[in-house]
Amino acid sequence: MHDRGDATVPTHVPSQRGFTLLELMVVVVILGILAALVVPKVMSRPDEARVTASRQDVASLMQALQLYRLDNQRYPTTEQGLQALVTRPDSAPIPPNWKPEGYVGRLPKDPWGHPYAYLNPGVHGEIDVYGLGADGAPGGEGNDADIGSWTL
C-alpha cells in the first residue's frame, strides 16, 4: 500500500482571461455607431419628451387624487393643494382615512422645473391638475401651453 498523505493532488485552476484590447475597441465602436444613430432622433425631440413627461405626471397625480377621494369621500381643497397627497392636511376638512404613507412619495415638478397647480373646484372639470408649460405662465402656445388633466 502506498501512503498518500504526503502527495499533493494537482488541482485544476481555471484560467481567468480578460478582454483583449481589440475586443474592447470593437465594443466601443459598436456603441459609437448605436449612439450616432439614436442620439439625433432623441435630441431632435426634447420638447416633445417634456410634454409627454408632464402629461404622465398629471395623470399620476390624478390617480393619486382619485385614491385620496376613495379613502376620504372628497378631494383636497384648493388650499390643501397637492401637498395633501404627501402629508396629512391639518386644516378643515381633515381627511378621516388619510393613508399614513401618503398617496405619492413626493410631489414632482414639471419638466421645466415649475410646481404643478391644483384647483378644486376646477375650471375644466371637477378638479384640475395642470402644469404651466415652458414659460411657467398661464395659457400659451406650443411648448408654453398649459398641460392639464382636461387634455388627457
Residue 29 maps to a domain = no
Average pLDDT over residues 72-99: 97
106-147 residue pLDDT tens: 999 999 999 999 999 999 999 999 999 999 999 999 889 999
More reliable by pLDDT, 80 or 14: 80
Residue 40 lies in a domain: no
Domain that holds residue 65: 46-151
Residues in the chain: 152
Q: Which of 138, 127, 134 is nearest to 58 (CA)?
A: 127
DSSP assignment string, 58-92: HHHHHHHHHHHHHHHSSPPPTTT-GGGGTS---SS
Residue 33, in any domain of the structure: no
Q: How does pLDDT run across 138-152, given as a tens digit for each residue?
A: 999 988 999 999 988
Average pLDDT over residues 13-27: 75
Tell me whether residue 8 is in a domain: no
CATH number (domain holding residue 88): 3.30.700.10
Question: How many domains, in total, are found in the chain?
Answer: 1
Whole-model pTM: value is 0.71
Q: Is residue 116 part of a domain?
A: yes
Any domain includes 125:
yes
pLDDT at 92: 95
- Tell me if 132 is assigned to some domain: yes
Tens digit of pLDDT for each residue in 88-100? 999 999 999 999 9
**Residue 31, domain member (yes or no):** no
pLDDT of residue 7: 60
Spell out the residues 6+ positions from residue 75 whose beta carbon is closer than 8 angstroms to its own.
65, 68, 69, 120, 126, 127
